Amino acid sequence: MNDTEERFVGIVLVSHSAAVAASVAELATGLAGGGALAPVAPAGGTLDGGLGTSTDVIAAAAASVDRGAGVAVLTDLGSAVLTVKALLAEGDELPDGTRLVDAPFVEGAVAAVVTASAGADLATVEAAAAEAYTYRKV
């Protein structure tokens, strides 16, 4: 790990499905292009591989991408959102500076990874991910 990488904001992608979380992580890192990449961890499905969300999976993913610059957590829906909120309310389950980012899952993940890989701070990463809501397709 070099000095630059240590300052990257970490990104956690929480989905009900392990496959969705892993694929979106792959897509977002693929679109982020060459150069150093911010750490990205998928956190999908339950511990036994089913559909759902797991606090253990989420907490481990957040710890794995924490470089001390904060962690942006993006979620798909329902229990993914509630579980992250409940974990944040616990206080000591997620790294300091972990934030639930209100963003569309796929587009927000791409924006977050690109921005974080450019060395942006947590607030900038959060704003970039949230801005993905304003991108209309029709």
Partner 1 sequence: MLNADFFRRWMTVTAVSVDREAERLTELDSPIGDADHGSNLQRGFTAVTAALEKEAPDTPGAVLALAGRQLISTVGGASGPLYGTLLRRTGKALGDAPEVTGEQLTDALRTGVDAVMALGGAAPGDKTMIDALVPAVDALAESFAAAKSAAEEGAVATTPLQARKGRASYLGERSIGHQDPGATSSALLIAALVEAAGE
Where does the chain have alpha helices with state H?
3-6, 18-31, 55-65, 79-90, 105-117, 122-131
- Helices then strands, counting H and E runs in the chain, come out as 6, 4
User: Judged by CB, which is closer to partner 1: 53, or 115?
Assistant: 53
What is the footprint of partner 1 within residues 9-68 (CB under 8 A)?
A: 46, 50-56
- Residue 138 CA to residue 136 CA, distance in Å, equals 6
Using DSSP's 3-state secondary structure scheme, residue 100 falls into: strand
- Residue 85 CA to residue 71 CA, distance in Å, equals 14
**Applying CB under 8 A, which part among 5-13, 24-32, 74-82, 126-134 lies near partner 1?**
74-82
**Applying CB under 8 A, which part among 64-72, 86-94, 98-106, 123-131 lies near partner 1?**
86-94
- Residue 86 lies near partner 1 (rule: CB under 8 A): yes
User: Judged by CB, which is closer to partner 1: 53, or 117?
Assistant: 53
- Residue 83 lies near partner 1 (rule: CB under 8 A): yes
Sequence-distant (6+) residues with CB within 8 A of 127 are none
User: Judged by CB, which is closer to partner 1: 80, or 110?
Assistant: 80
* Catalytic residue list contains 16: yes
Exactly one of 16, 17, 53, 103 is catalytic; name it.
16
Sequence-distant (6+) residues with CB within 8 A of 66 are 10, 95, 98
Binding site for partner 1 (CB under 8 A): 46, 50-56, 78-79, 82-83, 85-87, 89-90
Tell me the catalytic residues. Answer: 16
